[in-house]
């Protein structure tokens, strides 16, 4: 018993597959008795049925990723059985039709009625169906699918990276998505090659039938002295029975291959998809019932079958339409609508509702994007964006309150900060947006538009064009991703408005858990909370995250005894965070490319800020904006950050001046650059 248990354990541990392969190869050389052949033929047919039903019930093709290897195994088993049965037919066929086992005899007598002429016709028909129709079509679909999947691979990788950068995916989810894309490419590439197994198996079946028929007749007449008629009848039935026993599982497996490669990549069972997409439209059933009824009324036609079919389809269409009407008339409760107050209830302060810090309003056509019952993914995307922004900005981003607004156009949405609309956009909920990242290899048919977040050229396309668009270099995103990316961009721009006293108090409490003395000395002893809030808001307005909160507190504690001016405190904090700010701009690069101001312009700006001269004239400010915009464009074309290095005294004024007109420009003071950072002068602004 212990030895048997050890054998079973070794089979489960990975030794089973090699033993099965070696056993199938041994069948080619080792003679098998008719009883063993019957068992293996039965197992072959059962295995083919299991493979076919597994393909029917699998939800996604990638869930059956081992299918190419399974296809090779069943093909090897079928060919090994053909070789083994050929040996038995040629050695013992002269003994009668039962010499090769009862399975082959049953197929030779029952399926084809004992007539070798009928058997040849049936075998030829099965071979034509398998070789010309199913196998050829499945091979072509596999080839085209593999080509499109490989062409779309770079676009899918870019889409995953874009979702990761926008905060729609975590690192683990992005890794899983990349793995899924790689598995999909490997699967369809393997299916392209594995479909050749079926094609070769069909050709081998024809050749084996011819060899069994001609070789058996020659052996029967020359070695065993059988008459020509008896040899022809005996070996024809054996060869055709053997061919049919092999062709039936081959046809089942070929059908499984064709069904798998024609499946969509969405997660759905085949039965559910057919029921919903083929028989889920009552108009199609109604028209079919009417046409069948008309045909059934034509004299000379088989009236009863047509009329019965028309009645069944008509009843099904009526039931479907009735169910759809009942569901449409059923009122759906709206949880966002509060019950009306009692007319006798007194007014209270509960009637005054506070304004949400962050809100999203959608038109009625965009409600399915929000409703989880209708497959809406927007709420999940917004949650992912909020998590990513919280990690990047260093404080908890408020929850996004989503509601419908009938005053908006049906496909429009708008984003509100503290109840004030700050951005809006328009969506096509039944289409997808193909973004032009700047380098594409063709044009797309669709509705031209622009990305609401960054203003990129884009096209609204139907979902069926996604693979084609990605192969041309476009980045394709769904409407929910468009809204989530736009919201992420708005929150980054308006982060300073979302930070209030409660958020700052929580940030200080988090620092106080590790260093309670720092917070106790800072507020309220040294600086009031309102001053700290203004400093942190100014940092966020200048795109400086609050992730280094301990260093910020230490800098405020150091300079708070000297001044309580928020502008001077911001300059001190920026100097303390200089290495962090530069790394956010330039990463780990050794050189930092910078622009500087021409000496004459620098003196004019210093005099203007200090009040020793008149304010900057509009013409000078306009020329300065134009020159800075050109510098930013030049740096973006090189893939480098645009950094303007100025004296500390005028840094804040220059930053405010260019904050909205040239938002891509980072304005640094000389003291904010670490001493060990090597600078590379790109140009001088005159």
Among residues 274, 289, 313, the one where a domain terminates is 274
Q: What does the alpha-carbon distance between residue 326 and residue 282 come to, in Å, rounded to a whole number?
A: 14
Evaluate whether 447 touches 460 at the Cβ level (below 8 Å): yes
Token reading at 306? 């047509």
**Summary mean pLDDT of the chain:** 79
Quick one: pLDDT band at residue 93, thresholds 50, 70, 90?
low
Q: Identify the residue with better confidence: 41 or 648.
A: 648
Residues 612, 464 share a domain: no
Helices (H), 421-478: 466-471
Residue 517 domain-assigned?
yes
Mean pLDDT of 189-218: 74
Evaluate whether 631 touches 642 at the Cβ level (below 8 Å): yes
Q: Identify the residue with better confidence: 309 or 567.
A: 567
Helices then strands, counting H and E runs in the chain, come out as: 26, 12
What is the DSSP pairing of strand 678-685 with strand 591-597? parallel
Quick one: pLDDT band at residue 1, thresholds 50, 70, 90?
very low
Mean pLDDT of 437-460: 88
Predicted pLDDT of residue 414: 94
477 phi, psi to nearest 5 deg: -130, 155
Q: What does the alpha-carbon distance between residue 553 and residue 535 come to, in Å, rounded to a whole number?
A: 11
Residue 349 domain-assigned?
no
Sign of the CA dihedral running 252, 253, 256, 258:
negative
Residues 212, 248 share a domain: yes
Residues 380, 517 share a domain: no
Neighbours of 421 (CB within 10 A): 11
Residues 242, 126 share a domain: yes
Predicted pLDDT of residue 51: 82
- Whether 104 has a pLDDT exceeding 80, the answer reads no
Residue 16 domain-assigned?
no
As a whole-number percent, the residues of the chain with pLDDT over 70 amount to 83
Q: List pLDDT tens digits, range 474-520.
A: 989 999 999 999 999 999 999 999 998 989 999 998 998 888 888 88
- Whether 565 has a pLDDT exceeding 80, the answer reads yes
Residues 173, 70 share a domain: yes
Residue 483 domain-assigned?
yes
- Give how far the C-alpha of residue 370 lies from the chain's centroid of Cα atoms, to the nearest Å: 19
Residues 287, 232 share a domain: no
The pTM assigned to this predicted structure is: 0.56
- Give how far the C-alpha of residue 12 lies from the chain's centroid of Cα atoms, to the nearest Å: 34
Residue 259 domain-assigned?
yes
Query: Cβ contacts of residue 480 below 8 Å, gap of 6+?
Result: 369, 376, 377, 378, 381
Q: Identify the residue with better confidence: 574 or 98.
A: 574
- Whether 64 has a pLDDT exceeding 80, the answer reads no
Residues 159, 243 share a domain: yes
Q: In total, how many domains does the chain have? A: 5
Quick one: pLDDT band at residue 616, thresholds 50, 70, 90?
low
Strand partners, 447: 460
Predicted pLDDT of residue 167: 66
Query: Cβ contacts of residue 651 below 8 Å, gap of 6+?
Result: 571, 667, 668, 669
CATH number, domain of 563, equals 1.10.8.540
Token reading at 645? 């290095």
Q: Identify the residue with better confidence: 11 or 214.
A: 214
Residues 473, 439 share a domain: yes
Q: List pLDDT tens digits, range 350-377.
A: 667 778 899 999 998 998 888 877 778 8
CATH number, domain of 625, equals 3.40.50.12790
* DSSP state, residue 373: G
Q: Is 94 exposed, middle or buried (0-12, 13-18, 19+ CB in 10 A)?
A: buried
What does 146-199 look like in DSSP terms, one character per residue? HHHHHHHHHHHHHHHHHHHHTTSS-HHHHHHHHHHHHHHHHHHHHHHHHHHHHH
Residues 606, 680 share a domain: yes
- Whether 4 has a pLDDT exceeding 50, the answer reads no
Predicted pLDDT of residue 406: 86
Predicted pLDDT of residue 153: 72
Q: Is 667 helix (H, G, I), strand (E, B) or coil?
A: strand
Q: What does the alpha-carbon distance between residue 176 and residue 170 come to, in Å, rounded to a whole number?
A: 10
Residue 152 domain-assigned?
yes
Q: What does the alpha-carbon distance between residue 96 and residue 108 come to, in Å, rounded to a whole number?
A: 12
The residue range of the domain holding 540 is 499-576
Q: List pLDDT tens digits, range 117-166.
A: 776 777 777 777 777 777 777 777 777 777 777 777 777 777 777 777 66
Residue 490 domain-assigned?
yes
Query: Cβ contacts of residue 269 below 8 Å, gap of 6+?
Result: 56, 57, 58, 59
Among residues 528, 553, 576, the one where a domain terminates is 576
Predicted pLDDT of residue 361: 93
- Whether 585 has a pLDDT exceeding 90, the answer reads no
As a whole-number percent, the residues of the chain with pLDDT over 90 amount to 17
Q: What does the alpha-carbon distance between residue 63 and residue 544 come to, in Å, rounded to a whole number?
A: 45
Helices (H), 395-500: 466-471, 479-493, 495-498
Angle between helices 529-541 and 549-559 (to 10 degrees): 120
DSSP H or E run through 435: strand 432-435
Whether the bond between 524 and the residue before it is cis, its omega within 30 degrees of 0, is: yes
Predicted pLDDT of residue 274: 61
Residues 563, 638 share a domain: no
Residue with tokens 């007319």: 343
Predicted pLDDT of residue 330: 61
Residues 299, 239 share a domain: no
Residue with tokens 């307005």: 541
Residue with tokens 């699918």: 145
Residue 335 domain-assigned?
no
Mean pLDDT of 228-252: 75
CATH number, domain of 388, equals 3.40.30.60
Q: What does the alpha-carbon distance between residue 223 and residue 93 come to, in Å, rounded to a whole number?
A: 12
- Whether 460 has a pLDDT exceeding 90, the answer reads yes
Residues 619, 572 share a domain: no
Quick one: pLDDT band at residue 13, thresholds 50, 70, 90?
very low
Q: List pLDDT tens digits, range 624-660.
A: 888 888 888 888 888 888 889 988 888 888 888 888 7
Residue with tokens 């020509």: 228
Among residues 552, 576, 600, the one where a domain terminates is 576
Quick one: pLDDT band at residue 9, thresholds 50, 70, 90?
very low
Q: List pLDDT tens digits, range 515-552.
A: 888 888 888 888 898 999 999 999 999 999 999 999 99
Predicted pLDDT of residue 80: 80
- Whether 5 has a pLDDT exceeding 60, the answer reads no
Q: Is 622 exposed, middle or buried (0-12, 13-18, 19+ CB in 10 A)?
A: exposed
């Amino acid at each position: 018993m212990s030895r048997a248990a050890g054998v079973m354990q070794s089979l489960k541990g990975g030794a089973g597959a090699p033993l099965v392969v070696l056993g199938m190869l041994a069948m080619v050389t080792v003679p098998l008795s008719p009883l063993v052949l019957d068992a293996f033929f039965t197992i072959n047919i059962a295995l083919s049925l299991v493979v076919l039903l597994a393909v029917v019930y699998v939800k996604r093709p990638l869930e059956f990723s081992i299918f190419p290897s399974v296809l090779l195994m069943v093909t090897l088993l079928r060919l090994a059985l053909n070789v083994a049965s050929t040996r038995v037919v040629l050695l013992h066929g002269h003994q009668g039709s039962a010499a090769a086992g009862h399975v082959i005899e049953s197929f030779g007598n029952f399926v084809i009625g004992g007539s070798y002429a009928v058997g040849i016709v049936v075998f030829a028909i099965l071979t034509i169906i398998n070789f010309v129709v199913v196998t050829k079509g499945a091979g072509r679909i596999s080839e085209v699918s593999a080509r499109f999947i490989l062409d779309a691979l770079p676009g899918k990788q870019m889409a995953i990276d874009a979702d990761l950068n926008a905060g729609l995916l975590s690192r683990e989810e992005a890794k899983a998505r990349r793995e899924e894309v790689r598995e999909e490419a490997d699967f369809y590439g393997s299916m392209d090659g594995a479909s050749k197994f079926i094609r070769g198996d069909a050709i081998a079946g024809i050749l084996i039938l011819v060899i069994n028929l001609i070789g058996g007749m020659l052996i029967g007449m020359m070695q065993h002295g059988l008459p020509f008629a008896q040899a022809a009848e005996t070996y024809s039935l054996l060869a055709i029975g053997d061919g049919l026993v092999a062709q039936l599982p081959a046809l089942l497996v070929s059908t499984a291959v064709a069904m798998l490669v024609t499946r969509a990549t969405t997660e759905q069972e085949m039965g559910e998809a057919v029921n919903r997409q083929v028989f889920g439209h009552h108009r199609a059933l109604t028209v079919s019932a009417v046409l069948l009824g008309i045909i059934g009324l034509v004299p000379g036609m088989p009236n009863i079958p047509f009329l019965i079919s028309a009645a069944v389809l008509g009843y099904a269409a009526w039931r479907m339409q009735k169910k759809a009407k009942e569901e449409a008339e059923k009122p759906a409760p709206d949880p966002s609508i509060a019950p009306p107050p009692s007319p006798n209830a007194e007014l209270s302060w509960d009637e005054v509702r506070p304004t949400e810090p962050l809100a999203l309003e959608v038109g009625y056509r965009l409600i399915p994007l929000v409703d989880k019952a209708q497959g809406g993914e927007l709420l999940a995307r917004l949650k992912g964006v909020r998590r990513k922004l919280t990690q990047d900005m260093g404080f908890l981003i408020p929850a996004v309150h989503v509601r419908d607004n009938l005053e908006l156009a049906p496909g429009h949405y708008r984003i509100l900060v503290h109840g004030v609309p700050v951005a809006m956009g328009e969506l096509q909920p039944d289409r997808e947006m193909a973004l032009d990242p700047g380098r594409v290899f063709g044009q797309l048919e669709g509705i031209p538009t622009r990305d609401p977040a960054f203003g990129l050229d884009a096209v609204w396309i139907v979902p069926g064009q996604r693979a084609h668009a990605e192969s041309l270099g476009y980045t394709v995103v769904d409407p929910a991703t468009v809204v989530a990316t736009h919201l992420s961009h708005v929150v980054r721009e308006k982060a300073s408005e979302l930070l209030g006293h409660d958020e700052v108090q929580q940030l200080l409490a988090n620092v106080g858990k590790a260093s309670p003395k720092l917070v106790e000395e800072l507020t309220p002893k040294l600086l009031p909370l309102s001053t700290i809030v203004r400093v942190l808001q100014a940092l966020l307005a200048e795109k400086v995250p609050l992730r280094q909160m301990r260093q910020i507190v230490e800098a405020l504690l150091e300079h708070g005894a000297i001044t309580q001016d928020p502008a001077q405190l911001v300059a001190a904090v920026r100097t303390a965070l200089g290495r962090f700010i530069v790394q956010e701009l330039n990463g780990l690069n050794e050189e930092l490319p910078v622009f500087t101001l021409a000496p004459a312009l620098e003196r004019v700006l210093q005099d203007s800020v200090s009040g020793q001269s008149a304010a900057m004239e509009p013409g000078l400010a306009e020329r300065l904006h134009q020159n800075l915009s050109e510098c930013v464009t030049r740096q973006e074309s090189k893939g480098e950050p645009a950094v303007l290095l100025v004296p500390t005294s005028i840094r804040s004024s220059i930053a405010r001046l260019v904050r909205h007109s040239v938002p891509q420009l980072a304005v640094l003071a000389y003291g904010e650059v670490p001493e060990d950072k090597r600078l590379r002068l790109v140009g001088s602004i005159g």
